[in-house]
Amino acid sequence: MSGIHYQIFGQGQPLVMIHGWAMHSGIWQSFAEQLAQHCQVICVDLPGHGLSEAIEPFSLENISDSLMQALPVQQFSILGWSLGATVAIDMASRYPDRVQSLQVLAGNPLFVESVAWPGVKAEVLDGFAEQLANDVQQTLVRFLGLQVKGLADAKTLLQQIKTAVQAYPAPSLQALQAGLQILKHSDGCVALQQLQCPVSVLMGDRDSLIPLALADSLKRLQPAIQIHLLENAGHVPFLSHPQPLLERVIADL
């Protein structure tokens, strides 16, 4: 697919960055520009998001294949945030000859909780899906609010996110609903367990969407995974805690 939009910042070792649900690559442009002082950063828009063309169906495999076909570099490290982490795990699993290392930021290979795995309750995603059908804009605002919930500067961060997100039209209702289905039903635990490339997981200790218990589950799944907790950070540490996150990302490249 040729309709995937991306921006390139800096030079050196390539790092591909993939944004989360309902967002676009502009959400972390400031962070990407800082990171580009240390490596080449390639920020992509998921299909149907930002300036990228839509795909049908909007499935995990189709998303991964579309990005892989469009990326201008053959080998790279990859950093995926939230839904982007789910995509990044799939890409690393199915294209091991191209992905040199994986960084999971505020992501979970099994996003919805089960008896044996910590995550969000399925009702949370079901609620978003139901509300989307009635009011896309209000649903997105609620979701954005969850990302900064409990942080001291939540109001300022929420405005930053809103401003960035509104720079481009929202994805279609179909893409938003399909993205929630990917989060609800995808299970990347086996894929993550079997990866041969270096894997690091970066978590905010105040993230309302990614439970702290995930750290222990990931270490049991694959002891070689590096877990890094960002103190007092929520779901958007690239906005709330850019410097400690920057140092961590650079160290794990």
Tell me how far the alpha carbon of residue 178 is from its chain's centroid.
Answer: 15
Catalytic residue numbers, as ranges: 82, 207, 235
| Cα separation, 68 vs 205, whole angstroms | 32
| Cα separation, 159 vs 127, whole angstroms | 23
> What letters, b where the CB count within 10 A reaches 16 and e where it falls short, cover 184-203?
bebebbebbbebeeebbbbb
| Cα separation, 246 vs 150, whole angstroms | 22
**Token pair for 72:** 């201008």
Spatial neighbors of 56 by CB under 8 A, at least 6 apart, are none
Beta strands 14-18 and 6-9: pairing type? unpaired
SS3 category, 152:
coil
**Token pair for 37:** 């002082």
